[in-house]
Amino acid sequence: MKYIINGITFDTQQRTLSVANEQVYLEAKSFQLLSVFIANNHVILTRDTLIDLAWDGRIVSDSAINKAISKLRQHLETLQPNSSIIQTKPKIGYVFSADVTTSAPQKKQIINQAVLLSICLLVFIAIVFYAIRWSLSGHDPIPSPLQLERLTAHAGIETRASTSFNGKLTYLNTNHAQGTQHLYLKDLNTQQTHLLPITTAQLQSHSMSADGQYIAYVTQQEEQCSVKLHTIDDVTDTDAFDCSNMANLKLAWQHDNKAIFIRARENNASPFTIFKFLLNSQKLIQASLPAEHYDMKGDYLLAAHPKKELFAYARYLAPDLTEIHLVNSESLKTIQMTKFAGAITAMGFGEDALYFSEQHSLYQLDIDTNQIERIKNTSYPIESLAITQVKEKDLLIHSQYHISSEVKAFHIKRKQSQSLFDNAALNRLPQRTNEGHLIYVSNTEQQHELWIIRNNQTTKLALPFEFGFKRYQPHPVTETILFEKQGALLELDLNTHDLQQVIDPKHKAYVANYHDNGEQIIYSSNKQGEWQLWLFDRIKQSHTQLTNNGGYSGYYYQNQLYYTKRHVSGIWTIDEGKELLLLPHVSNINWLNWRILAGNIYYYKPDDGIWYYDIETKQQQRVLAQPDGFVHQYTINDDAITYIKLKPMQGDIHALRL
């Protein structure tokens, strides 16, 4: 459907606003809010009414409503400056006042009410009669449209759903209470479930072939990686591919079992790429991600059609913008590209459509028309998604999960831990301000926002945009924080909520640390090709390059630079103009996980804990053994380490009858 709003075209399929050659993509909340306003044009909507209609009745703060209204206004004013389509009615609510028409209005038909009632009654009788006959014939009752069914109910959580197209389902069950993990195969036609003889200790991902004969799976431990094939009927396993130079793999079978598509990257700091592995010739072909996209997250999601020469991948463009590529699996040529205003979290192919999710929402992309339609909202975020057929009915299989975490503090001298903040949300990236206040990122209100705890009072920090999951650093003297947004460095005053730009986006700044009481900033940038460290002097407004052989996160201590690199493990320093490797085994995931405090470098050892290195004595010692549920996101001050602890996840696998 397309609406014309005071000359602005609103495309509900593409979720865009456009005028002439200008176009704006709407994120999920703006899209939902605009749809509500159009349905209630010229009607005053109170805040409570908006919460019921646009937030599905969830608990929402006033600041969240203000932010959503402000963002939608910005979209409209981008295309029509000085417009006042959304008007505020003080102490009452909001009213949407616009001339709204459809671009292809349908002809109205006037039907006599008695005739209409008769038709409805006849249709109802026919449906009841048909349902009774269907039931008496021994068939299952007719499912209602998009009826949600639970398929698993193990203790623990079920994830990584994968299906054949003939009703077979594989999934991973993790029981944190018992410390067990198993891979199951369930036949949805017979409802029989059995345990697969596949070791899950180092299992990273798996995928079942479209005909249900094979399971391809990845085992990965440290620098050893292998793609293996499990034949279900013969219960045999063979090595297919050595993936030791890859990380974070996901798999999808080509429809004819001749090839496996692999999503992988070199390391945690490089972008994802899609590969095609030919099983007969053992040939690996790169299928996506040209060089110009190298500094992006890359092509991070993958799905293959079960019957056609077709696969799809999702390319990260921005935190709220994804590009879906449909590709011929033989020629590897892109057939079509579709932009989606959101972050896609899972996807899978049906017969004539690609289904995908954005957190709580399920969408359908019609392969022929290239139109996107939202089909359902779910209670919890969707972790994986697959499609199969049972009794000639399409089932959309998806695993839902609920994940939460608490903020804890470990007191170094007392060797004791305490909980600082705990709720049912996912809380991450803790930091301490100069005055000791706790800041963290949380999805308490669905989106990832900044929160601060002062004097036992928890408050959300107001920003004109979603903060997202991103690195930030508190100022060493004042109550401000520094963070990156689309290449610019921004500074937020925690007391006044004033926001100012410190560095222009043209400098492509990323990881940034304060230096010299905040008068200087060390930041990383790839503006000259490779990631290097730069020093920005706020008084002189000058930029000086600090490294030539790579740099990603840096600090000065006694006028000497210490830093990490984007693609290479270790902590480095420059001594008399020469680059020296100081700590070789510090993983390059430590973009946020190291500090210099009182002459000690604190850093994280994976699966071990937090250590310190004394710069003067060169002695090393572990400060905190890795606790259960530890997430390598922490901050440290003179007497405590503040860190994140994950709580056991909850979730099952459900199905929608399409």
| Average pLDDT, 10 consecutive residues per value, the chain (658 residues) | 85 83 82 86 81 70 81 85 81 83 50 47 45 42 55 86 95 84 93 91 92 94 88 93 91 96 84 94 88 66 95 88 94 94 92 90 91 86 91 88 89 92 89 93 85 91 86 93 92 92 93 90 91 95 94 92 88 91 80 84 90 94 92 87 87 86
Phi, psi of 531 (to 5 degrees): -70, 120
Distances (CA, A) of 321 to 185, 291, 315, 370: 35, 20, 9, 17
H helix and E strand count, the chain:
4, 56
Sequence-distant (6+) residues with CB within 8 A of 114 are none
Cα dihedral 68/74/75/77 (nearest 10): 140
For the stretch 382-440, pLDDT in tens is 999 999 999 888 899 999 877 889 999 999 999 999 999 998 788 999 999 989 999 99
pTM of the model: 0.61
The residues with which 501 forms a beta bridge, in sequence order, are: 490
Note every long-range contact of 601-604, with CB atoms under 8 Å and residues 24 or more positions apart, other chains counting. Answer: 601/562, 601/571, 602/636, 603/571, 604/632, 604/634
CA distance 382 to 653: 10
Residue 615 CA to chain centroid, in angstroms? 38
For the stretch 273-310, pLDDT in tens is 999 999 999 999 999 976 555 455 789 999 999 999 99
